[in-house]
Amino acid sequence: MSMWLESAILFEKPHEIFERVFRDLRPRTKLPEIRVEFRRFANANSFVRLEEDVLSVRITDVLERAPAPILEALAYILLSKLYRRPVPRVYSERYRRYLNRKEMRRCLHIVRQTRGRKFVSGPKGEQYDLEEIFEQLNHEYFFGLMARPALGWSLRVSRATLGHYDPSHNAIIISKLLDSEKAPRLAVEYVMFHEMLHLRFPVDHKGARRCVHTPEFKQAEKQFPLFKEAKELLKRL
């Protein structure tokens, strides 16, 4: 019996796992249509919703390759919560142990870091067009040879992070704070130039540090003629 069950689990598709768990938890309820999809969330969360006979399950894509017993545990967790029942301990522990594995923790850390910063708007802001600024600087300092990455304004008006180069998405994200009349163009150009240098001088990422300024980076940064003025302007924003 247990051998049969184990091999059955291995061949079940995610929606079949949810169907089986649903039947186990709600034997007398009509089985809804079950849709399971994996989504690029910025964390390990998963969601379930029951609406007009359709049970929609959205699971973090980090679990897309998780073994079936882990998805089974997740199905028990989500469906128990949906019906406000206590989650059987065997499943909550199985799931928690899996997420706590070292590779899993590392994977989630990377996902949070890279996806936590989505930019809503494209390069055209209210005040400045990042593509135009990029191409101007590309022409002036890089012989027009730098391939343009994705460019966007940050979701939040961040003062702490004015610019950021995200190598995993090949994207330069500039703080929405700078898309304003109060921000002089020189300041925006300087932040963009700085991020372009991160593209120009890639680094081996050690640990969580995002912004690494090597001596050659600092040397190159001084090409920007109004370097000091720009830094002063940024301080006053």
Nearest distance in Å: CB 207, Zn ion: 16
User: Based on CB atoms, which residue is closest to Zn ion, 29 or 214?
Assistant: 214
Stretch that binds Zn ion, among 27-35, 62-70, 98-106, 211-219 (CB under 5 A): 211-219
The first and second tokens of residue 116, run together, are: 């936590």
Contacts of 3 (CB under 8 A, 6+ apart): none
Instruction: Give yes or no for a contact between 187 and 198, defined as CB atoms under 8 angstroms apart.
Output: no
User: Based on CB atoms, which residue is closest to Zn ion, 124 or 200?
Assistant: 200
Nearest distance in Å: CB 165, Zn ion: 8
Instruction: Give yes or no for a contact between 119 and 155, defined as CB atoms under 8 angstroms apart.
Output: yes
Sign of CA dihedral 80, 81, 87, 93: positive
Stretch that binds Zn ion, among 70-78, 112-120, 127-135, 207-215 (CB under 5 A): 207-215
User: Based on CB atoms, which residue is closest to Zn ion, 90 or 211?
Assistant: 211
171-190: contacts with Zn ion (CB under 5 A) = none
The first and second tokens of residue 52, run together, are: 């007009």
d(CA 51, CA 199): 46
Nearest distance in Å: CB 221, Zn ion: 9
d(CA 150, CA 172): 6
Nearest distance in Å: CB 198, Zn ion: 6
Backbone angles phi, psi at 12, to 5 degrees: -75, 145
Nearest distance in Å: CB 122, Zn ion: 23
Q: Is 211 in the site for Zn ion (CB under 5 A)?
A: yes
Nearest distance in Å: CB 211, Zn ion: 4
User: Based on CB atoms, which residue is closest to Zn ion, 36 or 178?
Assistant: 178
Q: Is 205 in the site for Zn ion (CB under 5 A)?
A: no
Q: How far is CA 16 from the centre of its chain?
A: 28
Closest CA to 155 of 120, 114, 192: 120
Q: Indicate the burial class of 133 (C-beta count within 10 angstroms; 0-12, 13-18, 19 or more).
A: buried
102-141: contacts with Zn ion (CB under 5 A) = none
Stretch that binds Zn ion, among 10-18, 73-81, 181-189, 205-213 (CB under 5 A): 205-213
Closest residue to Zn ion, judged by C-beta, is 211
Q: Is 216 in the site for Zn ion (CB under 5 A)?
A: no
Give all strands (DSSP E) within 100-199, no chain letters.
Answer: 150-153, 163-166, 171-174
User: Based on CB atoms, which residue is closest to Zn ion, 26 or 210?
Assistant: 210
**Binding residues vs Zn ion (CB under 5 A):** 211
